Amino acid sequence: MENVGKKFESSFKLSVPEYCYLKRLNDQPQSFVKNVNTKFSLKNPFDYLLFDCKRQKLWAIECKTTKYKSLSIAKDKDDNKMIKYHQIKGLSELSKYNNVIAGFLINFRTDGIERTYFQKIEDFNKMIHTTSKSSVNEIDLIMNHAIKINGKLMRVNYRWDIESLLESEGN
């Protein structure tokens, strides 16, 4: 059975317009095994690179999904958080380039309803640097310029309006 994170990623992939190129960065096998013999493992800075061919924009996207009302954030190298320090750092680095949009695609699954938001890394960084909280919720995201992604429940899975996201940020 597919885990909920992979299910959300699958719904995201199926929602990307055909005129876009989407590349999933492969996770390293050792990143799944916490072993004292592993000296290091490559940690991907984000999940996907999406190239919007219409608008000539490159998107770096880290997908997150949760059944809770908030997501924990690593403000240092603590890896026991939902949003990892190396992900924040990787998205921040890539966002410095022209025509690159980097951020988190965050999905909340509560009460049988799914809600999804995209937040640019610049807005995310401002948000976490102006709060003492160690987690963020939907209200925090909305108050800090997250973009709500409309979704439609098909039979079992959602389709997300990624086209509208690309249009809103592509100019």
Query: In a structure prediction context, what are the per-residue pLDDT tens digits for the chain, which is 171 residues long?
Result: 568 889 999 999 999 999 999 999 986 654 445 555 554 556 889 999 999 999 999 999 999 999 999 999 998 876 689 999 999 999 999 999 999 999 999 999 987 789 999 999 999 999 999 988 899 999 999 999 999 999 998 887 889 999 999 999 865
Residue by residue, DSSP assigns 86-97 as HHHHHHHHHTTS
> Position 115: which residue type?
R
51: three-class secondary structure by DSSP: strand
Q: What is the tally of helices (H) and strands (E) in the chain?
A: 5, 10
Give me the pLDDT at residue 121, please.
Answer: 98
Whole-prediction pTM value? 0.88
- The single residue listed with the structure tokens 């290091």 is 40
**3-class SS of residue 160:** strand
Number of other CB atoms surrounding residue 89 within 10 Å:
15
Assigned CATH class of 4-31+42-169: alpha beta
Strand partners, 117: 106, 148
